[in-house]
């Protein structure tokens, strides 16, 4: 799947006539809001798949978020690094970027729906509390977030998905990320662990 993804990122920008999937699937703010809320309240872990090139080194490459429980306007989930620690040297290098947090995630609808994190447990960097615009969401597929902090010339984006996201669907998500945010860095899943699941009860959302 990674080879296919790199092909899309590497050669997609060179295509003279590239299909604009954002126009083909125009979503209203309410659709994005409802889809995002449904994804946050599912029991499946969400995993970081892709991030903007210019934030490489500022964000852990192995990030996972597991469902704990529902809450008003959103859900309580974990925010964890899940590196595969094969050597002591690798552990030393990533020690400063380790996360094991519990966060409350609230989604607000509007002309541009957005996501906001507040921390329940664990120490954190202020960067994690910045509001994130919800740019795209596809149930059982992916969700694309864009930083709204105003820091830097280009807003940073992240693409989150599931372990079992159908490859065809993830390829579409990668294409949409490319159109909305530019080329990104794809996370190598072989460098990340599965980890243990958190138990929780999801809520059934309206379609």
Beta-strand ranges (E) seen in the chain are: 46-52, 63-65, 67-71, 74-81, 100-108, 114-121, 132-138, 142-147, 157-161, 184-186
43 in a structural domain: yes
Largest Cα–Cα separation, the chain: 49
- Residue 106, classed as helix, strand or coil, is strand
Query: Which residue segment(s) compose the domain that 137 sits in?
Result: 23-191
How high is the pLDDT of residue 203?
A: 41
How high is the pLDDT of residue 191?
A: 87
Scan for tokens 């002591």, then name that residue. 88
Q: Which of 164, 154, 176, 167 is nearest to 32 (CA)?
A: 176
199 in a structural domain: no
How high is the pLDDT of residue 93?
A: 55
Q: Which of 11, 28, 12, 31 is nearest to 20 (CA)?
A: 12
Contacts of 114 (CB under 8 A, 6+ apart): 107, 108, 131, 132, 133, 134, 148
How high is the pLDDT of residue 14?
A: 41
Helices marked H in 41-96 — which ranges? 88-94
109 in a structural domain: yes
Task: State the total domains in the chain.
Answer: 1
- Residue 115, classed as helix, strand or coil, is strand
How high is the pLDDT of residue 200?
A: 47
56 in a structural domain: yes
Question: What predicted TM-score, i.e. pTM, was given to this entire model?
Answer: 0.79
Answer whether 97's CB lies under 8 Å from 81's CB: yes
Answer whether 185's CB lies under 8 Å from 58's CB: no
Digits of tens for pLDDT over the chain (207 positions)?
443 443 334 434 444 455 666 666 789 999 999 999 999 999 999 999 999 999 988 888 899 999 999 999 999 999 998 888 664 455 555 555 677 889 999 999 999 999 999 988 766 666 777 899 999 999 889 999 999 876 666 789 999 999 888 889 999 999 999 999 999 999 998 888 875 544 444 444 444
Report the CATH number at residue 60: 2.40.128.20
182 in a structural domain: yes
């Amino acid at each position: 799947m990674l080879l296919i993804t790199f092909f899309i990122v590497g050669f997609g920008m060179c295509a003279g006539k590239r299909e604009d999937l954002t126009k083909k699937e125009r979503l209203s703010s309410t659709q994005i809001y409802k889809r995002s809320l449904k994804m946050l309240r599912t029991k499946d872990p969400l995993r970081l798949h892709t991030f903007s090139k210019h934030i490489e080194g500022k964000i852990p490459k192995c990030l996972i978020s597991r469902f704990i429980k529902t809450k008003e306007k959103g859900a309580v989930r974990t925010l964890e690094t899940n590196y595969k620690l094969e050597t002591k040297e690798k552990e030393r290098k990533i020690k400063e970027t380790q996360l094991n947090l519990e966060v409350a995630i609230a989604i607000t609808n509007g002309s541009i729906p957005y996501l906001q994190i507040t921390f329940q447990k664990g120490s954190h960097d202020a960067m994690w509390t910045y509001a994130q615009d919800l740019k795209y969401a596809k149930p059982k597929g992916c969700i694309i977030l864009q930083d709204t902090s105003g820091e830097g010339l280009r807003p940073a984006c992240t693409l989150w998905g599931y372990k079992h996201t159908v490859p065809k669907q993830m390829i579409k998500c990668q294409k949409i990320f490319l159109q909305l945010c530019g080329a990104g860095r794809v996370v190598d899943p072989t460098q990340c662990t599965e980890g243990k699941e958190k138990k929780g009860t999801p809520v059934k959302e309206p379609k």
